[in-house]
A = this chain, B = another copy of it.
Amino acid sequence: VSTPSRPSLTRRTVLRQAVVGGAVLAVPAQAAPLEVPRWTSEPGGPFQSYGQPSQWEASVSRSVALPYADIAPGIGTANTPLERLEGTITPNGLHFIRAHAGIPQVDPALHRLVIHGMVRQPLSFDAATLLNYPMVTRTCFIECAGNSYQHSLSQPRQMELGDVHGLFSTAQWTGVPLSVLLDEAGIDPRSNWLLVEGADAVALSRSLPVWKAVQDSFVALYQNGERLRPEQGYPMRLIVPGWQGNLHIKWLRRIKATDTPTHTRDETSRYSLLMPDGKAQEFPFAIPVKSLITRPSYGQVVPGPGQYWISGLAWSGGAPITRVEVSSDGGITWRVAQLDDVPKEYSPVRFRVSWAWNGNPATLMSRAVDASGAIQPSHKEWKKTFHPTNRFHCNAIQSWSVDSDGTIENVFV
């Protein structure tokens, strides 16, 4: 990643930086002719029918982790490099992956979604049929319930942001409201839950309350305008806005209307919250309020005293973000950050705040608040809320300590 160099807010600052060798250069008032590099003197390359990133951005990629590679290579993650991205959308090639049986290549001509159980009329749909249904478009984040695993431990890990917190991505999703499909199947009013199941080799399944399904969940067919990527559930996946990523069933093949939750393996043995008394809290659906400073962050270097802009992301599955505060003194004082856009439900917001660094050690932290009044906890508070071995829904504040040489460390404050 490119290291931060001295930004500048006024002409005075710029000129000073030019003098001390900063990256902003003053040029003579009567500028010499601009250099003519190769790409200005020769025609460029061909037009591609499907474009790819620049060769100079090859390092901007997902980091793949396969913890059981020898016995089960399909169990793993691919993290979004949040520290190398800006804005709020994740390009499709970099959307995080969490999969339990590899990435199935599902033939859309053969794939079916069946709705059955407590319905008047079981139905079966293929993707081509769903394309003719009424659709909605919504920009939603998805966060894995196990995101920030490394941050839930008792000691901070020195890893880049994406490696710690990168099971988080955002896309504009388009698909068919579940309410339309359930209405068509004639769901029994006594059905309060849905079993939702994927077509991958573990047939990953979860229980979803009917009220949430009907309120705003949908079967997505498109991701940032194009059809879903295979690793995101092609040809169809569930979007359950603001809730645990694990519920957003990929390669969706079955919706069974039931009266009670099914208590599947992935909502009992995992994706629940272990409380201090050792009991598990099942169905912790909504993603808690959270924020991250993406720049500067571990692995980047602040080259010296000067004016900088701190930038990051904030989101909540509970309610829209109302405020993000940033501290540069380890949480003693906080400043309200500016937001790039009016926060919308289920969509993250980019925050920014200027920072004048005097060169002394500093600790950068961000803290988000949502419209329900929920506030992001300190690492200590978060640890106290759960059993020491709980690894899910970690939204503890991320702190970056900046040393006087500009290097950045991950610290718990």
Contact = CB atoms under 8 A, between A and B. Distances in A.
B103 A227 contact: no
Interface stretch (A208-216, A217-225, A382-390): A217-225
Contacts of A291: none
Interface in A113-138: 114, 116, 120-129, 131-137
A133 B10 contact: no
Contact of A43 (B53, B73, B340): B73
Given A88-B172, A225-B87, A122 B26 contact: yes
B89 A39 contact: no
Contacts of A174: 86-87, 350
Contacts of A134: 7, 309, 352, 354
Interface string A228-261: 1111001100000000000000010110000000
A333 interface: no
Contacts of A124: 24-27
Interface residues of A, number: 136
A291 B61 CA distance: 36
A186 interface: yes
Given A8-B184, A37-B110, 15 more contacts: A3-B128, A15-B121, A23-B126, A25-B124, A29-B122, A34-B114, A34-B253, A39-B201, A39-B251, A40-B199, A43-B101, A47-B97, A51-B95, A54-B108, A93-B226
15 contacts: A5-B129, A11-B184, A28-B122, A34-B114, A40-B203, A44-B99, A45-B104, A47-B231, A51-B95, A53-B226, A56-B108, A88-B225, A92-B93, A93-B93, A132-B309
Interface of A: 2-8, 10-11, 14-15, 22-29, 31, 34-35, 37, 39-57, 60-64, 66, 72-74, 76-78, 84-95, 97, 99, 101-112, 114, 116, 120-129, 131-137, 170, 172-174, 183-186, 199-201, 203, 221-231, 234-235, 251, 253-254, 295, 308-309, 311, 340-341, 350, 352, 354
